[in-house]
Amino acid sequence: MKEQSKIPTSKVKRAAKLIGTGAKVGGNYVKYYANKVIGDKNAKEKLDKENAEDIYQSLSELKGSALKMAQVMSMDKSMLPKAMTDKFAQAQYNAPPLSYPLVVKTFRQMFGKTPTELFDSFEKEAKHAASIGQVHLAIQGNLKLAVKVQYPGVADSVKSDLKLVKPIAMQMLHMKEKEIKQYMQEIEGKLLEETDYVLELKQSMEVATACSGLNGVYFPKYYPEFSNKRVITMDWIEGMHLKDFLATNPSQEIRNRVGQRLWDFYDYQVNELNLIHADPHPGNFLFQEDGSLGIIDFGCVKRIPKDFYTVYFQLLNPTYHMNDDKLKALYYKLEFLLVSDDKETEELFFTLFKESMDLLIYPFTQEKFDFADEAYFDQIYKKGEELSKSKDVRKGGKARGSRHILYINRTYFGLFSILHELRAEITTTTSFDF
């Protein structure tokens, strides 16, 4: 991995970077139309690839919330062209790391010491680098430690970054500014929390303790004395990232076992703790050959309000799906339907959301579900593509769905995607009390 010696931190420099990227994308479209005129059948594929390269390169250099948006979008295969989701997925594992002198500067600011003065040993080259921070291996006595260092300027640039990225997101999601506003506010709040390493340390210790009794799931121990608002230190826990785990060709039994543990972990959080580890990209899980599952990074935790929880998870209640009037009442509470809707609009959105939600909750309605089912995922991607292109969905120009749904649906989509890659067949019951 090539190191990055500097991150643009001022609003002007970060804006200039994105404006320059916009110019490159515009040039790519000029080439696309020229290629299309001459009958190039691969013109669209070339356009998507070039745009993916240019946008990812820019976001990688900016890091922070700009790169985080790429990470989020890579998890939804129906949101962007395949070339982009494939490229943006790199943000889940290995973004270009920060150079060591900047790491030293952070330690001097936060601890008044260099990394090698604070720890017995500290590896200069990052083991992993993602959107908001990078991880170094350190040794202290008998402890093998993972030290996560936040990139400079990340916390200060969240709000301005989202303003810069919003037009790109609006274009990619086919949404207008007033439609996307409440969701951008939810994203901003979560990103600000993710840059608060003091909060992340507290959440990590809370969830790890609460879930410590789950079978086959393990968490690192955290060290407050080596942590602060820009650095978090925890045990270095062993395990493979998903792609490396799958490369070992695990048996179906092991795939099912680790898939079940992943499912049970999420079910326990939602229904017992009323919160959720809302960043379920593969880089946050470590897999063992015996099917054990290590879970890291609790920077993005969505706490589910009790009144919302009792309404939203009734979507899994089969009695609602047998009664359109009861289901419509539920949809109004969840803001899928709005009191300002006329009868035609109500019927339109009721049908759209019923079809979409029936697909998303289908695994919950089965005693066992095989996430290797390609037909099921093809239906989800197809429905997502239909909704993103539908002019009817834009009718009225109003946002649909409570802001609380954003991170919960994103989490389950990410969970389903991992289970699909595992090709796991598991028991998909829920402990939600109907």
**Domain residue spans of the chain:** 241-434
pTM over 0.75: yes
Considering the chain, what is the average pLDDT of its residues?
82
3-state secondary structure of 376: helix
Residues 271, 432: contact at Cβ < 8 Å? yes
| Sign, CA torsion 41/43/44/45 | positive
Distance CA 231, CA 346 (A): 49
H or E segment and range at residue 49: helix 43-62
pLDDT in tens, 368-396: 999 999 999 988 878 776 766 566 655 55
Q: Which residue has the higher pLDDT, 164 or 116?
A: 116
Band of pLDDT at residue 325, cut at 50, 70 and 90: very high
| Beta-bridge mates of residue 233 | 147
Confidence check: pLDDT of 339 > 60 = yes
Residue-level pLDDT at 35? 58
Task: Give the E-state strand segments of 168-306 in sequence order.
Answer: 217-218, 231-235, 275-277, 285-287, 293-295, 301-303
Confidence check: pLDDT of 185 > 90 = no
Distance CA 304, CA 314 (A): 14
Confidence check: pLDDT of 250 > 70 = yes
Q: Which residue has the higher pLDDT, 39 or 418?
A: 418
